Amino acid sequence: MISMADVNKHFGSLHVLQNIDLEIPRGQVVIVLGPSGSGKSTLCRTINRLEPIDSGRIEVDGKVLPAEGKALAALRADVGMVFQSFNLFAHKTILENVMLAPLKVRRKKKDEAKKQALALLERVGIANQAEKYPAQLSGGQQQRVAIARALAMNPKVMLFDEPTSALDPEMVQEVLDVMTSLAKEGMTMLVVTHEMGFARKAGDRVLFMADGQIVEDTDPATFFTAPKSDRAKDFLGKIL
């Protein structure tokens, strides 16, 4: 579903992604771990071309990412992304937030978009808040809306970049629960997270990044019990 071949990316003299080769099959849940600054967010952002790459090749569902234009917009719609900050439109209701992209980008009819949006809000457990504005919701609720909004485009892949890092502790689980159910339904997911319980339970695979490289690529049980590299051992020593 996602294929990266010899991908390189620099920010000035900083080589943030170094010869990244990665194949993610359909339905796999990939957890991305690594110290701050190791390139996790950049990796996510290159997959839907929020960041251009310097060299290499990225494919989503067998299609090479085009540089720009309509083809890029279409492909980007296949890749849902949820960030640490929820980025909801403050002056639109929850329902309007979820309906917006299907109306504008997918050119859906209004009643159809509304029906789908309500079903998605139901799925993330928040349909009863549909007429409220983002500021009236808790952080956990807002992040669930952000997930519903991303799902409204019927993406083939979902990217999550530290989706619970900005939340108060008591709201983390409700967001992880939504992500867990998505994973169980077979969504292909790339998840940058510090939630190790989630990583162990929901992850099929762990990528450990350091200095712009994928240093370990293994299953969660192996990573957490028998990390190979000193970088990973050091990282786990600090967080566990």
User: Which residues of the chain form contacts with ligand ADP (CB under 6 A)?
Assistant: 11, 14, 16, 34, 36-42
At residue 208, the 3 state secondary structure works out as strand
Tell me whether residue 32 or residue 176 sits nearer to Mg ion (CB atom): 32
- What residue 134 binds from Mg ion, ligand ADP, none (CB within 5 to 8 A, per partner kind)? none
Smallest gap from residue 16 Cβ to ligand ADP (A): 4
Smallest gap from residue 161 Cβ to Mg ion (A): 6
167, 166, 188: which is closest to 179 by C-alpha?
A: 188
178, 192, 185: which is closest to 31 by C-alpha?
A: 192
The two tokens of residue 4 are 């990266």
Tell me whether residue 94 or residue 208 sits nearer to ligand ADP (CB atom): 208
Enter the DSSP assignment of 108. Answer: -
Tell me whether residue 44 or residue 94 sits nearer to ligand ADP (CB atom): 44
Smallest gap from residue 41 Cβ to Mg ion (A): 3
CB 187 within 8 A of CB 13: no
Tell me whether residue 47 or residue 148 sits nearer to ligand ADP (CB atom): 47
CA distance linking residue 34 with residue 23, whole number of Å: 19
At residue 140, the 3 state secondary structure works out as helix
- What residue 71 binds from ligand ADP, Mg ion, none (CB within 5 to 8 A, per partner kind)? none
Determine whether 167 is exposed, middle or buried from the number of CB atoms within 10 Å of its CB (0-12, 13-18, 19+). Answer: buried
- What residue 14 binds from Mg ion, ligand ADP, none (CB within 5 to 8 A, per partner kind)? ligand ADP
- What residue 37 binds from Mg ion, ligand ADP, none (CB within 5 to 8 A, per partner kind)? ligand ADP
Smallest gap from residue 199 Cβ to Mg ion (A): 15
Smallest gap from residue 95 Cβ to ligand ADP (A): 32
Tell me whether residue 35 or residue 66 sits nearer to Mg ion (CB atom): 35
Binding site for Mg ion (CB under 5 A): 40-41
The counts of H helices and E strands in the chain are 9, 10
Enter the DSSP assignment of 66. Answer: P
CB 31 within 8 A of CB 207: yes
